[in-house]
Amino acid sequence: MNSGKTIFAQVMDFLPTYEFNKCVNRYHGNYQVKSFSCLDQFLCMAFAQLTYRESLRDIEACLRARQNKLYHMGIHSTISKSNLAYTNEQRDWRIYADFAQVLIHQARALYKDDTFGVELDQTVYALDSTTIDLCLSLFPWARFRKHKGAIKLHTLMDLRGSIPSFIKITDGKVHDVHMLDVLIPEPGSFYVVDRGYLDFSRLYSLAQLLAFFVIRAKHNLAARRIYSHQVDKATGLICDQTVMLTGYQSLRDYPDKLRRVRYFDTEKNKQLVFLTNCFSLPALTITLLYKSRWQIELFFKWIKQHLRIKSFYGTSENAVKTQIWIAISVYVLIAIIRKRLKVDISLYTFLQILSVTVFEKAPLIQLVANFDYNKTQVVNNVPANQLTLFDYS
């Protein structure tokens, strides 16, 4: 990799600029724009994510302090707080939402052979949402409760590689179960969800489209046992049953058989009941699939801790969505680089390294490679990049 480029420029070299320009042209993002293009906006906001900038004035001060390096970082316009505020508020957030989907498509192709703890050929998705609290007086469009504002980040995650494949941003009042209406199921895939998505009519539609689901049952589930399968109780399984719903409304919504698996979690000293329309997998695998759903909770925790999506640079709906989608793009881009460079470090460590080296000129692979520099730089007081003239042995 070219050591004459800054680390930031080397990272942004992984961006598919042709696809980015297609997204910009789709929504006329650069129409009648003479300076500060959509790419300049994206690079400035990506810089803010990588270096944990706290405000637009903070971004402006840091970039202007390195004015002589901006052109080589790909930023070809003058940076100002007013430019950033205006573009975040006016330029269509869908530009960056579509571009994030391009990066997600690339990342999923790279991580498709990864494992997630369950030996399964089919694709497994986890669907969940996280709430981001907002001040209602500053964000009046994001109504949640009477005196509270919030938005929800609904995410469908491919558990191989922890890559989000579908994201929708709504206000806090939208219930999680409505995401099953906009989901386009993949036949043969598994969708692992929690009890908030328990709606039998929607789950039946999912089953009719030849997709499988795994969901926790509520404690008041009305069902009758049709058949019991043998289980190994030493594994924590209590029973594996084929059941039919008995409630009038639930039976009308789901008129087919279901599989009910009871499992005792020794760590939490709690009995768990799972429902699924998959009858071919072992009962213990069903429990492991639900356990793997925890990865999406870790994803939400990670992006809230390490990306700027809890405090925002603008207060309009467009500015908030723009910032969130660019943050997601940065997350996926780092995941792509990590896979392509084949480096064995966590995304957190990768981001920490980038945050303090964005202006340095060194090969990116050298910064993230997992080896001891002290042992490789000097051997017998001879620099490693200097040929040995005499043999001292």
Average pLDDT on 83-105 reads: 94
Per-residue confidence band for 346, with pLDDT thresholds at 50, 70 and 90:
confident
The verdict on 288 and 322 lying in the same domain is no
The verdict on 36 and 81 lying in the same domain is yes
Give domain status of residue 304, yes or no.
no
What distance in Å separates the CA atoms of residue 94 and residue 246, rounded to the nearest whole number? 45
Give domain status of residue 173, yes or no.
no
Give domain status of residue 125, yes or no.
no
Q: Which of 65-79, 189-203, 300-314 has the highest mean pLDDT?
A: 189-203
The verdict on 286 and 324 lying in the same domain is no
Closest of 271, 270, 284 to residue 240, by C-alpha: 284
Per-residue confidence band for 376, with pLDDT thresholds at 50, 70 and 90:
very low
Q: At what angle do helices 294-306 and 347-355 cross, to 10 degrees?
A: 10
> Using an 8 Å Cβ cutoff, are 316 and 89 in contact?
yes
The verdict on 287 and 325 lying in the same domain is no
**Residue 309 backbone phi and psi in degrees, to 5:** -130, 5
How much is the pLDDT for 370? 55
The verdict on 270 and 341 lying in the same domain is no
How much is the pLDDT for 267? 86
Give domain status of residue 307, yes or no.
no
Give domain status of residue 1, yes or no.
no
> Using an 8 Å Cβ cutoff, are 149 and 155 in contact?
no
pTM: 0.86
Give domain status of residue 223, yes or no.
yes
Count: domains in the chain: 2
Give domain status of residue 77, yes or no.
yes
Give domain status of residue 141, yes or no.
no
What distance in Å separates the CA atoms of residue 58 and residue 223, rounded to the nearest whole number? 59
Closest of 277, 274, 286, 124 to residue 210, by C-alpha: 277
Cα 14 to the center of its chain, rounded Å? 18
User: What is the residue range of 350's domain?
Assistant: 7-95+317-368
Per-residue confidence band for 377, with pLDDT thresholds at 50, 70 and 90:
very low
What distance in Å separates the CA atoms of residue 26 and residue 10, rounded to the nearest whole number? 27
